[in-house]
Structure 1
């Protein structure tokens, strides 16, 4: 009699994120979770409740899109109830589960939860924000904690070097490029938005899509754009996103006399209309890893003007109309904006081709899946770290 067929157990992953909005890292987590599910992985997206916010955008977006999503309770900066709830999810996921964290808070809870409920620990570094003393402290604590993880994923060469310098064995550090669900440009939505904002059809439209926070350096962008706006009255700058600096940026725009040449659109659900409207994406960040907004703009063929930080130079090396400026150099940014304002709209076909060939969500998910499968055959050597 033939032995009954046996089947390998389905890989289970828990994607864990503590989120303050729906920004680049959050959209990467959504794309990864969706890609893993398409690949046959049993993946659940766990969001840690942000007790300072009324809404939970990542969890709400994931639930509405049909993800297997769960909101973990969290009532303060450290909540043992969160640890208990996460440990229960790890137990339910079964032996060999992968717990994949995507920020320092979720990494902390993942490490605590796996003290009693073992699982393989993976963390993706989406970039460090160190604009204040408390944020620098969090970054140092995170680096110390991550030495205890089975695998760390960096999205830029700078991150790899920093992890190794912090004492993480190089064998545990992996570089996996970010991937995206390709945006679909919406010409009709762009026309409606143009009419709504009163932007003339011949205007040169710049767009900054980012969290309005210090590391994005948007105050310098407004200062660099002000003389350009005076010289090119048809130039318009759209700031898409929200964050703690919105009030101060709005006041600065008023002080600079920018009037209707700068528009604050807040968080926007329909990025297809934004990408169909703007002529150039501008990202003057002081620090980045591999920003999804750059990949999205490239996938739409939109020229990108950005600081030469993180892996942005590597991405724009594949663009025809990309423009790098030194981080924090207002004069260089002003010159680049003035030159771009004088040009008609251009489509960056090489950038579009590169982004779509190399940075799809499914390709990213396949690389993560390969890492997960390799970890399943290993013991938790990081526990001895």
Structure 2
């Protein structure tokens, strides 16, 4: 079994192309170069006209399949996923690893693999927990239900060390928990594109550019950032804020910016496909989230030598320990955020080379994929040993 080449089915129900989606894309691609096969199974989001995760994976030539789904619970989704699991078995009967990346995928994968429970070697189930969003009663209920289901999985992967204790308190044996950090395909600074974007947005050459790159939803706490930035902008005429991303709070945040008289100081750019230009134009990335796992935007900014100001949540403090110019603030502390913005404006512009070096050494997509391949092999070898006994 030493040369075992696992086949992993990555299952994701996506609401757009956000951090976890980009992790899945990077993993699906990198596994093929790390001793495994991988196929991305995207569950159709019936509320959306476009399926960005599947479309981008297909455009990039990745092995990708769109699973049908026409409602909250759809039996055709279960059947299609079960068929994929069955088809992925090799001639000797070795099952694929079913690797899920959200609570909906976990639900469908659990039921689909129970259909194969009669098999001599049922498919191992792995879930990666990219972070919990619990901003409402419904979301807190989903989290509790997800944890109850995940106790039945063969392995749970956390991207932030602080998640381990919570899983243990929920009854998950620590022996089933693995900590695997997110990995990225390194963005490369693009000076010419950044210059063109600066001209397009009419940003002065000597302006200090802050950027918030996030899903525009409550847990990202961007309303606090707008209020803190408004205080700073009143005193600092050359401060500019870019808000990159989309989400349910976009209209509310735009209205808040207007009420704070920030119309010419804040640019809402929506979803972008030129992130190297955004990072190159940025003097400081700002992420005032109330909850995170290991955010890709922090890794990408660090890879592009951009200093980071972020809440001390998830694995952000551990990441910024390796940065020369990173700064954390207590989550939800508006005064600390305003002070951090002021300090950034008062300091000379700089690039964070130490941050770049750390990300390139520890958080590449291939390093992440190698850790997952080791986990897949371990699970399959245990299956093989139990079958042989």
With structure 1 as the length reference, what TM-score do the two structures score? 0.96
| Partner residue, 1:333 | 337
Using the TM superposition, give the Cα deviation of residue 10 of structure 1 relative to its aligned residue in structure 2, in angstroms. 3.6
CA distance in 2, matches of 1:122, 1:10: 17
CA distance in 2, matches of 1:35, 1:357: 16
Q: Which runs of no fewer than 5 residues in structure 1 stay unpaired?
A: 1-5
Map 1:306-325 to 2 at 5 A: 306-325=310-329
8 Å contact from structure 2 (residues 4, 377) kept in 1 = no
Picking from 219, 222, 227, the partner of 1:218 is 222
| Partner residue, 2:6 | 11
Q: Which runs of no fewer than 5 residues in structure 2 stay unpaired?
A: 117-121
8 Å contact from structure 2 (residues 85, 95) kept in 1 = no
Superposed CA deviations along residues 88-141 of structure 1, whole A, max 9, x for unmatched, are: 000011022100000000010010100012311000000000001100000000
Q: 1:56 and 2:51 equivalent?
A: yes
Quick one: structure 1 residues 380 and 309, their matched pair in 2 at CA, closer, same or farther if it must change by over 3 Å? farther
| Partner residue, 1:3 | none
CA distance in 2, matches of 1:10, 1:224: 51
Q: 1:44 and 2:48 equivalent?
A: no
8 Å contact from structure 1 (residues 120, 380) kept in 2 = no
Runs (4+) of structure 1 moved beyond 4 Å? 6-9
| Partner residue, 1:29 | 24
Using the TM superposition, give the Cα deviation of residue 380 of structure 1 relative to its aligned residue in structure 2, in angstroms. 10
CA distance in 1, matches of 2:2, 2:188: 39
Picking from 360, 375, 379, the partner of 1:375 is 379
CA distance in 1, matches of 2:380, 2:6: 9
How many residue pairs match? The answer is: 376
CA distance in 2, matches of 1:188, 1:87: 48
| Partner residue, 2:106 | 107
Using the TM superposition, give the Cα deviation of residue 188 of structure 1 relative to its aligned residue in structure 2, in angstroms. 1.1
| Partner residue, 2:119 | none
Picking from 279, 295, 316, the partner of 1:275 is 279
CA distance in 1, matches of 2:3, 2:179: 28
| Partner residue, 2:306 | 302
Tell me the C-alpha RMSD between the 2 structures: 1.4
Q: 1:67 and 2:71 equivalent?
A: no
Map 1:184-333 to 2 at 5 A: 184-333=188-337
CA distance in 2, matches of 1:158, 1:67: 32
Using the TM superposition, give the Cα deviation of residue 9 of structure 1 relative to its aligned residue in structure 2, in angstroms. 5.9
8 Å contact from structure 2 (residues 28, 38) kept in 1 = yes
CA distance in 2, matches of 1:298, 1:113: 40
Superposed CA deviations along residues 168-223 of structure 1, whole A, max 9, x for unmatched, are: 01100000111100001111111111111000110000000000000000000000
With structure 2 as the length reference, what TM-score do the two structures score? 0.95
Using the TM superposition, give the Cα deviation of residue 281 of structure 1 relative to its aligned residue in structure 2, in angstroms. 0.3
- Of stretches 239-248 and 36-45 in structure 1, the one that deviates more from structure 2 is 36-45
SS of 1:54's partner is coil
Picking from 175, 178, 184, the partner of 1:174 is 178
Picking from 348, 352, 355, the partner of 1:344 is 348
Quick one: structure 1 residues 169 and 380, their matched pair in 2 at CA, closer, same or farther if it must change by over 3 Å? farther
Q: 1:357 and 2:352 equivalent?
A: no
SS of 2:54's partner is helix
8 Å contact from structure 1 (residues 59, 70) kept in 2 = yes
CA distance in 1, matches of 2:188, 2:325: 21
Map 1:116-135 to 2 at 5 A: 116-117=115-116, 118-135=122-139
SS of 2:264's partner is helix
CA distance in 2, matches of 1:76, 1:280: 41
8 Å contact from structure 1 (residues 150, 380) kept in 2 = no
Using the TM superposition, give the Cα deviation of residue 349 of structure 1 relative to its aligned residue in structure 2, in angstroms. 1.1
Using the TM superposition, give the Cα deviation of residue 341 of structure 1 relative to its aligned residue in structure 2, in angstroms. 1.7
CA distance in 2, matches of 1:54, 1:26: 17
